Amino acid sequence: MNFLQFIFGKKSHIKFVEDYDFSEYLRRIGVFDEVISGNKFCVSCGTQITLDNLQAVIPSDNDKVSFICDKAACLKQNHD
């Protein structure tokens, strides 16, 4: 896993979370089990999200989150 993970917030603010905090963050927002079980996918390319390839979490207004994998193209596409 990478040293830092990204959490894109509303209004394009980016928060960084160190790896050892990231699993706890996923637990707090209620998606850890879904990520571990393979039920989450990258919003850009459709790759199955794992703890190893999860690079960004994007909160939305309806209390759901989207995920971005660690492919550079996916990160660039969703941040621009």
pLDDT-derived band at 79 (thresholds 50, 70, 90) equals: low
Q: Is the per-residue pLDDT at 16 higher than 70?
A: no
Contact 21, 32 (CB under 8 A): no
Contact 44, 78 (CB under 8 A): yes
* pLDDT per residue as tens digits for the range 26-66: 998 899 999 999 999 999 999 999 999 998 888 877 778 88
- Residue 55: domain span: 4-79
Domain count, the chain: 1
Specify the pLDDT at position 60. Answer: 74
Q: Is the per-residue pLDDT at 5 higher than 60?
A: no
Q: How many CA atoms lie within 13 A of 43 on its CB side?
A: 16
> What mean pLDDT do residues 2-17 have?
49
Token code pair at residue 49: 């999200």
Q: Is the pTM of this model over 0.85?
A: no
Query: CA-CA distance, 70 to 19, in Å (whole number)?
Result: 14
